Amino acid sequence: MKRVVITGMGTVNPLGKNVEEFWANIKENKLGFSHIDQFDNSNFDIKCVGAVKDFDCSEVIDKKEARRMDRFTQFAVYAADQALKDSGTDLKDLDPFRVGVIVGAGIGGLNQMEIEHSKYLQKGPGRISVFFVPMMISNMAGGMISMKTGFKGANFPIVTACASGSHAIGEAFRKIKDGYLDACLTGGTESVITEFTLGGFNNMKALSKSDDITKCSTPFDANRQGFVLGEGAGVLVLEELEHAKARGAKIYAEIVGYGATGDAYHMTSPDPKGEGSAKAIELAIEEAGVKPEEIDYINSHGTSTGLNDKYETLAIKNALGEENAKNIAVNSTKSMIGHLLGAAGAVEAIVTALSAKEDFVHKTVGYETPDPECDLDYVTEGNRNVKVDVALSNSLGFGGHNATLCIKKYKD
C-alpha cells in the first residue's frame, strides 16, 4: 500500500481567497458572516450568510470561459489552480491517466438553474441558454479542472450533500493508496446562496434566524439556532509519498484513514444513537492504525443545529469512549465561516491539516452557554498551541451520509 500526503492546497471561502489569508483570519477568530445583500430579503426570516465577497476569477479563467461556468465551478477551478501552484509542480512528469480529479458538490449549479427557469417562465423554452445543462450539472467542476490541467485519470464527482468534500478526499486517498493513481486534485465546492435555497432550508427550520453576525453560528451552544449558509471551495493536491519526496515537495500532512458509512435512518436527521457516524470514526482510525487515546483533535461537522451537534457529540463518545472523548479538543470551523455544504469537508480538511502541521487548534467562536447534551471540550476559551499528531475531520450529510478523515502530522 502507498502512503498519501497533502502537498498543495487552495481555497476560496468567506474568510479568504487563498489558504494564507484564510488561515490568518482563522487564527484571529474573524467571522466571515454578512447580512444578505444578494437580493431583497425583506420577506425572509434569514438575515445572515457566509458569502464570498468581491470574487474575481479573471486571473485563472478568462471572461468568455467564466460566463459558461456556474459560480460553484468557478470556485473549484480557482481553488484547484491555487492548489497546483502551491504544490510546486504541474505533475506533467506523470502519466496524465495517473492523475485524477475527484471534486464533490452537494447541490451544483442552482444559481444557473434559477436564472434559466426565470427565463423559461418569462420568455418560453426557446430562451433557455444552450449552456444551461453543462453549467448546472454537479460533475462540471471536476470536468473543467481536468480540461484546464490535462489530467485524465479517474474523474468523477461525489454528491453526498454536506459530506461531499470529505468523501471526495477519502476516495482520492484510496485511489492513490491502492495504486490506481499517483496524484489527485480533490475537494469540494458549492455556491447556492439564492432566494430559492434559503427559502427551502428556512422552511425546514435548519437555518439560524439571528441577525447578529457575532451570534448567528454558535455550534454546541445551548442557544444555537441553526446553521448559516455559506459558499466556497477547497481543493487539495494528494500525492503518493515517494513521488512527493523525489521532487522535494513540501508536505502539509499525511492522510492515513477514511471511514464512510450510512445511517439508514432519516432524510435529514442524524441517527439519534450516533451509530453511523461513530462507525465512520472507528473505520478511519482502524485504517490509520491508531488507538482512540492517540487522537489529539477533532474538527467536527459542528453545524450549530440542535440535532447535529447533540448526535455528533454522542457519536464521538461512542466511537472513542466517553472518558477519552472528553480529553480531546473538538472545534467547529463553521463557527467562523458557516456551512459550505458540499465544500465544507474540504475546507475543514485544510484546517485539520494545518492544525497538525503547526500544532494549533482554533477556538469555536461564539460559544457562551453550555448544553448538558454537548459535553465535550469544544475549545471555547481561546485558540490553543497544543500537540496535534493525529486528528480527525468529520462530515455528515442529509440522507445519512457520514465521512471521517484521519490526518496525521507528517513524519518521514
Of the candidates 57, 262, 52, the one whose C-alpha atom is nearest the C-alpha of residue 141 is 57
Per-residue pLDDT tens digits for 236-245: 999 999 999 9
Which triple of cell numbers denotes residue 58?
A: 479573471
Q: Is the pLDDT of residue 2 over 90?
A: yes
Q: Are strands 390-397 and 253-262 parallel, antiparallel or unpaired?
A: unpaired
Residue 333: which pLDDT band, with cuts at 50, 70 and 90? very high
Euclidean distance between CA atoms 267 and 8, whole angstroms: 35
Per CATH, 4-246 and 259-408 having the same topology is answered yes
CA distance 406 to 394: 9
CATH number of 259-408: 3.40.47.10
Residue length of the chain: 412
Question: Would you kindly state where each structural domain of the chain is located, as residue ranges?
Answer: 4-246, 259-408
Please say if the pLDDT value at position 21 is more than 90: yes
**Which residues have CB under 8 Å from 327's CB, separation 6+?**
377
Domain 4-246: state its class.
Answer: alpha beta
How many degrees, rounded to 5, is the angle at CA 51 between CA 49 and CA 55?
A: 170
Tell me the average pLDDT across 120-141.
94
The answer to whether 71 and 56 are in contact (CB under 8 A) is no
Residue 42 has pLDDT above 90, yes or no: no
Q: Which of 167, 243, 301, 401 is catalytic?
A: 301
Cell of 385: 498551541
pTM of the model: 0.97
| Mean pLDDT value across residues 381-399 | 97
CA distance 219 to 210: 14
Structure confidence at residue 332 as a pLDDT band (50, 70, 90)? very high
Q: Which one is catalytic: 48, 162, 184, 374?
A: 162
Question: Which residues 6+ apart lie within 8 Å of 325 measured at CB?
Answer: 316, 317, 319, 376
Over residues 115-126, mean pLDDT:
92
CA distance 32 to 335: 9
pLDDT at 65: 93
Q: Which amino acid makes up residue 184?
A: C
CB 274 within 8 A of CB 314: yes
Looking at residue 305, the DSSP 8-state letter turns out to be -
Confidence of residue 235 (pLDDT cuts 50, 70, 90): very high
Task: Mention every residue, 6+ apart, whose C-beta is less than 8 A from residue 260.
Answer: 167, 170, 280, 283, 401, 402, 403
308 falls in which pLDDT band (50, 70, 90)? very high
CA distance 72 to 107: 9
Q: What percent of the chain has pLDDT over 90?
A: 93
* pLDDT value at residue 412: 84
* pLDDT tier at 384, thresholds 50, 70, 90: very high
- Whether 111 and 190 have beta carbons less than 8 Å apart is answered as no
Specify whether 243 is catalytic: no
Percent helix, strand, coil in the chain, to 5, is 40, 20, 40
Q: How far apart are CA 407 and CA 392, in angstroms?
A: 6
Q: pLDDT digits over 140-160, tens only?
A: 999 999 999 999 999 999 999
pLDDT of residue 164: 98
167, 243, 339, 401: the active-site residue: 339
Does residue 191 have a pLDDT over 90?
Answer: yes
Residue 248 has pLDDT above 90, yes or no: yes
The rounded mean pLDDT for the chain is 96
Is there a contact between 406 and 256 (Cβ–Cβ < 8 Å)? Answer: yes
pLDDT (tens digit, 9 = 90+) per residue, 27-38? Answer: 999 999 999 998
**How large is the greatest C-alpha to C-alpha distance in the chain, in angstroms?**
63
DSSP 8-state assignment for residue 377: B
Please say if the pLDDT value at position 41 is more than 90.
no
Determine contact, residues 34/53, Cβ cutoff 8 Å: yes
Question: Does an H or E element contain 395, and which?
Answer: strand 390-397
Per the annotation, the verdict on 362 as an active-site residue is: no
> What DSSP line would sit under 10-55, residue for residue?
EEEBTTBSSHHHHHHHHHTT----EE--SS--TT-S--EEB---S-
